[in-house]
Structure 1
C-alpha cells in the first residue's frame, strides 16, 4: 500500500521559522529529522530507534543534537508561541495550566522521584512536568513543559550537578511558582488568550491566584471544598471586647464558612456546556458570589485565627452523574452567566487530550537520557511536532468547511 509522505515536505516548509534560531547547518538538519522521527511510524520514539528508522543519520549525531549540543532553545520556544498564537490565539482562547507525569525506573533521570501522579491516580516513581496549553474550542496547542524538582533533588547539589541542571534552576520551586514563570513567558511573547484555567492543585494556592490577579488576568481554577469564604456583604469592624492586648486590625463581623456549605444552599441547574460525540455534555452546576478568605490571618473573637476577606469572586459547584462533586473559583465578572462559568471550568479537559497525544503518538515519555537539557529539548521537539500536526488538522478542517460552504451555495443558487 502506498504511504502518503507529503507531510514530510510540508514539515520542512512549516519548520522554516523555527530553523532560523539554529545557526549551525548540522543543527538545522538534525531538527527536522528528529521531529519527523517523532511523527513517523514506530512505537518507540527514543533516539536509537528513530535514528535506525531514518537511515540517513547516525545515533550519535541525533543524540548529540538533543542531549549535548551547545545551542539555545529559546528562539525555538518563541517560534512555537508565535505559531500557537496564529493557530488558536485570541480573546476567546484559554491558557490551561496542568502537570503530567512520566513514569520512570531507577533514580538517575533528572527529577525522578516517588511522587503523586494525577494522570496515574497514585504515587509512582516518575518525572513531573508543569504544562502550559493554549486552546481554542477543542483545539489545543501545548506551548510549555517545565520539570518540577522534588525536595529530594533540590536538597542534593551533587545530584543536580550530575544531571547538569543549570545553576539558576537549582532552586526549590513549587508547581504554582513554575506555572507563574511560564505564564510570564507566554505574556512576554504577545500570545493572546482570555482566561487562565487550572485544577485545584494550583487553584488552592492563594499566592498563585494573587499572582494571576496582579497581572490583570481572568482566571477560573479548581479549589478545595473546604475553602473558606465570606458573604459579599461582610463588614469589617473594630472589636470592642476586652482583651489583654489592644486590637490593631479590623476584623469581619462574622466567621467564614466553607464553600461546600455555601453552595449546598444554592439552586443547582442542569447545564450543557458543549456537544460531545454522543450528544450534549451536561452536569448540574451552582454558583454564587462571595469574598474569598485569603487575606492576612487574624483572631476573630473566640473563633480562633482565620483569613480575612479578600476579593469578591465566583465559587462554582459541579455535581456529576456519578455523585462526585467538584468545586471551582473564578474572578470572571459578576454579570457572567452560569452557562459561561460552567463552560469555562469544563474547558480545562482539553489539556488532558494534548498530554495523551504527546505521550501515545509523539513519545513524550520515551527520552532515555538523564540530563535536564536533554529532557527539555526532547519535550520541546514533541510540542513542535504536535503544533505541526494541529496546523495540518486545522487546514484539513478549513478545506472541508470551505467545500461544504461552496456546495451549499451552489445548491441554493440552483433552487
Structure 2
C-alpha cells in the first residue's frame, strides 16, 4: 500500500473515535492540509488549499470543526498513539519525557497568554505555554498528552475564562502538577511504564519527584546547582559544592549519542546521595539515589546536574544514556512547529487551541510511524500535488483584502525565532519529494 493510501487508512482509524460521522470530513481535510508543504497552517490557508474554489465555505466548516465542534482530544490522540506504539520498540527501553512548549504571542486575549518563561525565546516574554508528555524509545518518540498551562491570573478571572471557553473543571495547576496528572492518565490508559525524564524546571521540585515514585516509576531528572543533598556522614550540601569538591579520579569522559548519528562526549561523575528537603517532617531520611554531574573539560564549573532512581548497580554509561534520552523530543518539537504548524493556530479559545494541537500531533504521528517502519530511513516519500489557488485569491486579513476573517486572532503568534535548545536534525515530510 502506498503512502497516500496508507494515510487515508490512518485517517479512517482516527475518525473511529469521533462521536458523529459528519465530523470525519473536517478531521480528514484538516490533517491532509497539515501534511502539505505550505508555509502557514492556520485555518484559513488550510481551507484555501483544501478547497480552492470554495475557500470561504471551507474556512467556515474547518473553523467550526477545530474551534467549536465537541470531540475528544484524548480519544483522537489515543488513536494516534496506538498507531505509532508498535513501531517504537518499547520492549527494549521505554522513557516518558516531560517538557513544555512556549508560543510567543502579542496581545492579552488568547487563552493562557501571559508574561512568563518561553523556551522558544529562552527568556520571559508574552506567550502561551503547553505541557507535554512524550513516549520515547531509542528508535523515536511521540507526544501522547498535551495541555495548556493556565497562569493564576487567568485561572482566577471568570470573565476571561468565559470568553475563551475554559472548561469549569480546569483550575490552576503548576506545570509539574499538570505533568503528574498526564502521567496518571497514561497509566490508567495502560501505557508501558518507563523512566521519567525532565529538565530542572520539573526535577527540582521534590513533590514532582515524589509523585513519580508514588506512581511506581523511576526517574532521571535535571536539578539546579543549589539543590541540596545529604552526603554519607555529612550535613546537607548544595550539589554544586559537592561537585566542586570531588577528587579528579571521580571524573570520567564518556561518549554518547543524543538522538542523532553524531557521537558526543563530556566529563561526568556519579555519586550516591540522599535528597534533602524538609527532613524534619519525615520519620526517616529519603532513600539513596544517584547524583549525576556533567562537567565539560572546557568549562570552569559543572554545567548539568541530575537526580536518578535507576538501580544502584547501574553503570555510569547507563545513567548518562538515560538522561540524554530527553533530547529525543527535540526533533518532535522542531517538526511540529516548523513543518506541522503547531504554533500557527490563530484562534483565542481553549478548545480550538487543543483541537489544533491534537490534529498536528496526529498528523505527525503518522509520519513517525512511516519513518520507523522504514527502519529509521529519512528518504522522502511521494508527494501529492498541492492544489493551485485561484489567481484572484487574497488571504483574509491581508492588507489588500477588505474582508476580515471571523475567529482569527489579532493576538497572532510572533514570527519564529531561534530556540535556545540544541538544533535537532530535521525529519522530512512524508510527501516532500
TM-score range, shorter chain: 0.7 to 0.9
Q: TM-score normalised to the size of structure 2?
A: 0.80
What pairs up with 1:12-411 in 2 under 5 angstroms? 12-55=8-51, 58-88=58-88, 89-90=90-91, 92-169=93-170, 171-232=171-232, 234=233, 254-264=234-244, 265-266=246-247, 267-274=250-257, 279-297=262-280, 309-320=285-296, 323=299, 325-397=303-375
Q: Deviations over 1:23-75 (max 9, x none)?
A: 32221111111111111121000000001001177101111111001223332
Shift of 1:138: 4.6
Following the alignment from structure 1 to structure 2, what is the Cα–Cα distance between the partners of residues 278 and 63?
Answer: 41
Shift of 1:120: 1.4
Following the alignment from structure 2 to structure 1, what is the Cα–Cα distance between the partners of residues 113 and 8?
Answer: 34
Aligned partner of residue 58 in structure 1, secondary structure? helix
Shift of 1:295: 4.3
Matched-pair contact (CA < 8 Å) for 1:84–1:134: no
Aligned partner of residue 311 in structure 1, secondary structure? coil
Q: Deviations over 1:261-288 (max 9, x none)?
A: 2223151100012277674211111011
Shift of 1:97: 0.2
Structure 1 residues 276 and 366, CA gap change in structure 2 (3 angstroms):
closer
Indicate the structure (1 or 2) with the bigger Cα radius of gyration: 1
Q: What residue ranges of structure 2 are gaps of 5+ in the alignment?
A: 379-433
Following the alignment from structure 1 to structure 2, what is the Cα–Cα distance between the partners of residues 258 and 399?
Answer: 45
Aligned partner of residue 358 in structure 2, secondary structure? helix
Q: Deviations over 1:116-172 (max 9, x none)?
A: 112311111110010111111151211121100112212212111111000001x11
Matched-pair contact (CA < 8 Å) for 1:274–1:280: yes
Matched-pair contact (CA < 8 Å) for 2:152–2:172: yes
Matched-pair contact (CA < 8 Å) for 1:84–1:143: no
Shift of 1:296: 3.6
Following the alignment from structure 1 to structure 2, what is the Cα–Cα distance between the partners of residues 277 and 181?
Answer: 31
Task: Indicate the larger mover: 287-296 or 176-185.
Answer: 287-296
Matched-pair contact (CA < 8 Å) for 2:80–2:366: no
Shift of 1:188: 1.4
Query: Hey, which of these two has a bigger chunk of strand by percent?
Result: 1
Following the alignment from structure 1 to structure 2, what is the Cα–Cα distance between the partners of residues 123 and 393?
Answer: 36
Aligned partner of residue 21 in structure 1, secondary structure? coil
Aligned partner of residue 168 in structure 1, secondary structure? coil
Matched-pair contact (CA < 8 Å) for 1:132–1:143: yes
RMSD: 2.3
Shift of 1:399: 8.4
Aligned partner of residue 160 in structure 2, secondary structure? helix
Structure 1 residues 288 and 82, CA gap change in structure 2 (3 angstroms):
same
Q: Deviations over 1:201-260 (max 9, x none)?
A: 00000000000001110100000111111124x4xxxxxxxxxxxxxxxxxxx5211112
Matched-pair contact (CA < 8 Å) for 1:81–1:186: no
Following the alignment from structure 1 to structure 2, what is the Cα–Cα distance between the partners of residues 193 and 320?
Answer: 32
Structure 1 residues 399 and 261, CA gap change in structure 2 (3 angstroms):
closer
Task: Indicate the larger mover: 381-390 or 80-89.
Answer: 80-89
Q: What residue ranges of structure 1 are gaps of 5+ in the alignment?
A: 235-253, 299-305, 401-415
Aligned partner of residue 286 in structure 2, secondary structure? strand
Structure 1 residues 141 and 256, CA gap change in structure 2 (3 angstroms):
same
Matched-pair contact (CA < 8 Å) for 1:47–1:59: yes
Structure 1 residues 279 and 379, CA gap change in structure 2 (3 angstroms):
closer
Structure 1 residues 216 and 275, CA gap change in structure 2 (3 angstroms):
closer
Shift of 1:397: 2.4
Following the alignment from structure 1 to structure 2, what is the Cα–Cα distance between the partners of residues 6 and 84?
Answer: 18
Matched-pair contact (CA < 8 Å) for 1:230–1:291: yes
Q: TM-score normalised to the size of structure 1?
A: 0.84
Aligned partner of residue 264 in structure 2, secondary structure? strand
Task: Indicate the larger mover: 127-136 or 317-326.
Answer: 317-326
